[in-house]
Amino acid sequence: MKVVVQDSESGRYLSPEGRWVAAADGARDFHSILPAFHFAQSNTSVRFRVMLYCPDDQYLTSMIDGAGTAQAALPHDDAATFLNHTARNPRFGSISFPDVPHHSRFHLN
């Protein structure tokens, strides 16, 4: 089971490189729902869904919806809404979610 982020409007998925890709198989696995939600919220500028995805049987279900608060990139750029985080962390492939506390008390209302 993977935890992935999907752009609600385009249906594309956030890849490990920070681009939006068409296939859920190419999506980044966040391993946990809250880190995925908070990462997408602070690093994208789109309405998004955090999804559970099972590659074995192509099962996909939405867990939570949200809206990104990052500044939008150019409207037709394939890397549109790509993550402000990349500039701060050149080792994008090994992001550790420094903005999300390990002992979280977030409540989803």
Q: Do residues 3 and 50 make contact, with C-beta atoms less than 8 angstroms apart?
A: yes
Tell me phi and psi for residue 67, to 5 degrees: -135, 135
What is the residue-averaged pLDDT of the chain? Answer: 78
Give the start-to-end residue ranges of the domains of the chain.
Answer: 2-87
Residue 87 has pLDDT above 80, yes or no: no
Longest dimension (CA), the chain: 38
pTM of the model: 0.67
Residue-level pLDDT at 19: 92
